[in-house]
Amino acid sequence: MQSQRGVPAVRTFVGDVNWTDYTVETKIEITENSYAGLIFRAQSDLEYHVFYINVNENVCEWWHHTKPNPDSRVNHFKQPPAKVKIELNKQYHSRLLPMESTLNFILMILNKR
């Protein structure tokens, strides 16, 4: 969990660089600030894809970070989720299915217990 703004993102890498088709699943809750992200297809700390949920704009985003520096990136997708409003202090179930050249995602609201 990371809660500080303006500092480099905390990153954890697992898996194999040769993976192509797989599923990444997690629960996400944004308690402050505006973004939460889930990294996938990471080759290094400068080369990876990330799926963000953005509270301020109520959108889901898919970015591809590339060399030569941490700010080198390309946006592949930025759209509001269907039937879900992204809000602070709500839990979301996120399921990403990266394939060869596409990304399928599901974002569902979870009821807190």
Q: Where are the domains of the chain?
A: 27-110
Confidence of residue 112 (pLDDT cuts 50, 70, 90): low
**Tokens matching residue 17:** 């660089």
pTM of the model: 0.76
Q: How far is CA 39 from the centre of its chain?
A: 6
- Residue 39's identity, in one-letter code, is I
- In sequence order, what are the residues at sequence separation of 6 or more whose Cβ sits closer than 8 angstroms to the Cβ of residue 52? 35, 36, 37, 38, 60, 61, 62, 63
Which of these ranges, 17-21, 26-30, 76-80, has the smallest mean pLDDT? 17-21
**Tokens matching residue 53:** 């949920």
DSSP for 26-47 reads EEEE--SSSEEEEEES-SSSSS
